[in-house]
Structure 1
């Protein structure tokens, strides 16, 4: 048997989030250790002085700008931990799907 397309997509997206967050965290940690501003740029190539947190949807968007990098680190670490936990749960779901008869 095989796992469902939905489960496979969910696993892939969780791994992508982990990979992206770990890369960002590594960049932030390196810069902070050197007492530099992390070289994190927006889509237009502009250097960002802090982290953005938000829900960008139409007229009800809520965004916090320039959240200090030292506050971003625990948020990113918690996000990584949550996604790793999700991967574990999805792996169990995949095992159940594989064991189900067709």
Structure 2
């Protein structure tokens, strides 16, 4: 049986690929449709660049004015990273199935 941890890791990585693929599609469409100086936030203010950040809170960090030209390569690299994780996790799941290992929660 595949462990709960492996199954969860695969599911989270697949979700990240799906989310990033949708974001990439939206970013490409916006960059094709508008000139960078025409891109606006939800309040109608012009945006001169993108934002890249670590979740907010006491240790949160954010970069402002990240050039639009970096958006597509960064998102593509993110997708490639998670696809590689899925491939590795799939091998791990196959090994768990072949080895007949029990999930840790079933070993008690």
Aligned residues: 98
Shift of 1:57: 5.0
1:1-102 to 2 correspondences below 5 Å: 2-36=1-35, 46=43, 49=47, 50-102=49-101
Change (3 A) 1:13 1:68: same
SS at match of 1:59: coil
Residues of 2 paired with 1:25 and 1:91: CA distance? 24
Gaps of 5+ in 1: none
Residues of 1 paired with 2:40 and 2:97: CA distance? 41
Q: TM-score with structure 1 length normalisation?
A: 0.79
Instruction: Tell which structure's C-alpha radius of gyration is larger.
Output: 2
Gaps of 5+ in 2: 102-108
- What's the RMSD between the two structures over aligned residues? 2.5
